[in-house]
Amino acid sequence: MNTTAETRSRGFGELITAMVTPFTKEGSLDLDQTAELALKLVNEGSDSLVVTGTSGETSTLTDSENVAMFRAVIDAVEGKAKVIAGVGSNDTAHTIALARRAAAEGVDGLLLATPYYNKPSQSGLLAHFERIADEVALPVMLYDIPHRSGVPLHAETIIALASHPNIWALKDAKGDFAATTQVLSETNLDVYAGDDGLVLPLMAIGAVGLVSTTANVAAPVFRQLIDAVRAGDLDTARRLNFELAPLIRSTMTHVQGAVAVKTILHWQGVLPNAIVRLPLVEPDAEEAALIRDDLSKTGSIIH
């Protein structure tokens, strides 16, 4: 089996930014800000955008709001990047219904998180993902994130799913290098780091790139890191990885990722506010101070 990253990529590219969802001060979708952010992220080097994934607060969006976000981003990027719809849920029928609406809007692929809370067996997970891939003729990226979903996708399950013609990719946020190595060696899936801090080591063993929350605030630096790995410039890649470490801590450690990213985007002047939907809340003073302290250690990599 050919396991080189260059032969794996089937169209989503290497840097995929998991967009946050901008809200107005009243808490409704801000589709104008959504369009501006999407175009900014593409101009900064994102090959694809995940819309209404975890970072996009999909769990508090209605189906109609999800669809409005897909439409706004598709219109904004005008084909300059792929649009991947975050439509995963713990209800197979609901996921299929939303995936069909996403397909009708013209998205390029689907991100399907492992069903959460109801803790299905591996057989149930296999049936869930196969049913969706059978029903909606779009490329699927599986999202293995057991610390949120409550269950992992076992390597054997991923390998079985990889034989489906519509299942193209894996966002790997499990942190199990042995399992990832098995998937890379036994499938042609495009594997992406789903943990911002692990893009360098995962690319070293054959991953295509990164699906990133932190790239909302530093896409150019992640682009440089990925390009350095591709060029075989390990010294540059290692330096950038170290420089990004405090930024990744700032977005992923003190508060939930979307909360931190929106806060930083607001501080950067990119978003007019940092509003999130309940049960998420904005950082309190102590949390904001911790985020600022980490940001102070990033040097000039963000503005």
**Catalytic residue numbers, as ranges:** 143, 171
**Tokens for 182?**
């098995």
Residue 118 near residue 84 (C-beta atoms within 8 A): no
Residue 139 near residue 169 (C-beta atoms within 8 A): yes
Q: 150: alpha, beta or left, given left = phi > 0 and alpha = psi -120 to 50?
A: left
Using DSSP's 3-state secondary structure scheme, residue 139 falls into coil
**Tokens for 236?**
């540059």
Of residues 6, 11, 3, 5, the one with CA closest to residue 168: 11
| Interatomic CA distance for residues 94 and 99, integer angstroms | 8
Residue 52 near residue 63 (C-beta atoms within 8 A): no
**Tokens for 135?**
């029903």
